[in-house]
Structure 1
């Protein structure tokens, strides 16, 4: 309807965008490998495996250690047991995240989280850092029958927020593809877990390395939303 105010939302990825969770994921992977004497992997390797959800993470761990993929189910169960026991011991918020969320809230933005991490641990982490109240929707890797980059996840967050349009904020190629398929503007956080050596290779409408500038970036992108 002409003249109707468009309700806009911000959808955030979690790992590598709001939080640096690689140290806790790394610890849980190595506890899993240690249980059966399969050695360990370094943090940089595990960081490079993050993004496609826990099932793919374990597939990559098994491949990296030269193990049989028939062990996937048992290793996934063990990993989740270790990780879900305390997913925020070594995890940190990226600098400026909480201040940015407060500014968005004060400006009346609806906010949600779209992550391939399971929904339960995602909510636990948001609560542990005291930022869960900012988000009206959390869609995790086990919430639907699909994972990112399938746009159904981002669209589900938008629908749950009651938004007409959304800006997507993430750190990876997976997020960029999800945003593009969902027809959302995309802001890339360059300090996260992307695979590309050159961030110019990742489709984006804007990029940032400091959350202090994100509010201005989102405001500009929001002006372009229809």
Structure 2
């Protein structure tokens, strides 16, 4: 194994509170009903556009293209600034440092748009930490299409057999399966179903265990 590629939201960081605040800032500004934290958390996973579509449907009962476009633009405005309550999952930072110390390269493949991704990485002190960063709007398609993950590999000049992918959700599991990648499922993120029901090579709930689980794949 030469590299490990990570998802971001729900995998390395818990950003759900900030995403919820951004969503309600948009809705409040538009005079629309607000969403609960659990509703907002359930909308996460398929990128900002799908998040907004789900939010719009929940509060209005329908999706209208022009309104969706407007809400999406407003959401991105708040989303890029929404990181004050975002936290790194316990021991994730130490695990990343340990993997780098072993000579492994690190990639990031997220459905979060690139602008908010860059902003939160700067906020966390992780600017330049990952060799390659692919956001949800870097390519014309987003996860679970395997193209973003494969783009990370292409930019690293590696094949799928050279890496493991780490994520937390149904979207990540499907991405890994379609790409033919080895997949570790972090069980403390935004997954909706039972972890055993998802494609995976291993499960883990504590980042202190990740290096050993990855070593078992090699």
TM range, smaller chain: over 0.9
Aligned mate of 2:11, from 14, 17, 23: 17
Aligned mate of 2:63, from 44, 63, 69: 69
Give the C-alpha shift of residue 68 in structure 1.
4.2
- 1:81 corresponds to: 77
Q: TM-score, normalised by structure 1?
A: 0.92
1:117 aligns with 2:112: yes
1:186 aligns with 2:180: no
Other structure's SS at 2:158 match: coil
Aligned equivalents of 1:87, 1:112: Cα separation in 2: 23
Please give the per-residue CA displacement for 1:75-129, whole angstroms capped at 9, x wherever unaligned.
1111111111x22111111010110011001000011100011012112211211
1:177 aligns with 2:171: no
Give the C-alpha shift of residue 67 in structure 1.
4.6
1:195 aligns with 2:189: no
- 1:4 corresponds to: none
Is 1:170–1:189's contact at 8 Å kept on the other side of the alignment? yes
1:95 aligns with 2:95: no
Unpaired stretches in structure 1, ≥5 consecutive residues: 1-6
Aligned mate of 1:208, from 169, 192, 204: 204
Structure 1 segments, 4+ long, off by >6 Å, are none
Aligned mate of 2:215, from 215, 219, 225: 219
1:127 aligns with 2:111: no
Give the C-alpha shift of residue 132 in structure 1.
2.9
Worse-superposed segment, 166-175 or 119-128 = 119-128
- 1:107 corresponds to: 102
Q: TM-score, normalised by structure 2?
A: 0.95
Give the C-alpha shift of residue 34 in structure 1.
0.3
Q: How many residues align?
A: 214
Aligned equivalents of 1:163, 1:124: Cα separation in 2: 27
Give the C-alpha shift of residue 181 in structure 1.
1.1
Is 1:101–1:134's contact at 8 Å kept on the other side of the alignment? no
Unpaired stretches in structure 2, ≥5 consecutive residues: none
